[in-house]
Amino acid sequence: MTQRPDELDQRDYVQSLERGLSVILAFADRHPRMTLSEVAAATGLTRPTARRLLLTLQALGYVRSDGRSFSLTPRVLALGYAYLDSLDLTAIAQPVLERIVSEAQEACTLATLDGTEVVYVSRHAVRRTSSLTLAIGTRLPAYASAMGHVLLADLAPADLRRYFDTAELVRLTSRTLTTEAALEERLRTVRVQGWAVVDQELDEGTRSIAVPVRGGDGRVFAALGLSSSARPVDELVERFLPMLQSGAAEISAGLGSEYSRSHV
């Protein structure tokens, strides 16, 4: 049960922490960028107090400024990751991955977005030799992977703009998307259809498919994907897409129930 501020001994209550968190929470979807005056108005803080908090958060790497307005940085995600770690995400996802691998006979992976890369946070492989020897912690460029496309497609416009400003779209194969326009067009398709497929854009001969995994707030926080060096794209979509969608729904349900219980 969460303890309300009015139930806590005031000697134990740190008001500066409350104010700092209120500044972070002020940057909602509708307010990804705000001026000092807007932050002060949204939080009910004085301009001098809001300024000190913003500059402190900027020094710590949680906020950035272009000289006129402020916005959050991806480092804020670390606060959410700490929460997800407390849920033991692997315990929720691993049985799902194992079932998919048993049915598909292809390795299955759960990944999140970190900067311009996707990071494997859970993975289960088939018991046979494979050239795709990738482990938890493996990083892949988001622009060239199906899981990356799923995660990029859910970014807010400002966050996607920052991604393009920092990512290097290097040609990895003859099929790699190396222009912003081409990748944006692909991401629009992913948003509409709800899944992504990549045909030899990361590695020659390797095809992959991925679906989004949503957290308790409904936002995409991870991608569930499967790769193969032997199967055509049509088979990935027709045979494996339903498996991945079912698995993603199961993981989302597990996260949603944990999220609800932790906020009772």
pLDDT, tens digit, 9 for 90 and up, residues 61-120: 999 998 999 998 878 877 766 655 655 677 788 899 999 999 989 989 999 998 899 988
| Size of the chain, expressed as the number of residues it contains | 264
Phi and psi dihedrals of 13, rounded to 5?
-95, 125
What pTM was computed for the model?
A: 0.65
Nearest to 97 by CA among 72, 76, 122: 122
pLDDT at 258: 44
pLDDT at 259: 38
Nearest to 93 by CA among 257, 210, 235, 254: 254
Instruction: Assign 181 a pLDDT band (cuts: 50, 70, 90).
Output: very high
Output the six-digit token pair for 207: 């095809």
pLDDT at 80: 67
Nearest to 123 by CA among 142, 145, 104, 138: 138
CA distances from 87 to 63, 84, 218, 261 (A): 26, 5, 17, 11
Task: Calculate what percentage of the chain has a pLDDT beyond 90.
Answer: 56
pLDDT at 257: 41
CATH (one of 3.20.20.70, 3.30.450.40, 3.30.390.50, 3.20.20.80) for 87-260: 3.30.450.40
5-75: what fold? Answer: Arc Repressor Mutant, subunit A (1.10.10)
pLDDT score of 176 more than 50:
yes
For CATH 1.10.10.10, the residue range(s) in the chain are 5-75
pLDDT, tens digit, 9 for 90 and up, residues 193-207: 999 999 999 999 999
d(CA 211, CA 86): 24
Q: For residues 212 and 223, is the Cβ–Cβ distance under 8 A?
A: yes
Q: What is the mean pLDDT of residues 26-37?
A: 82
For CATH 3.30.450.40, the residue range(s) in the chain are 87-260
pLDDT at 87: 55
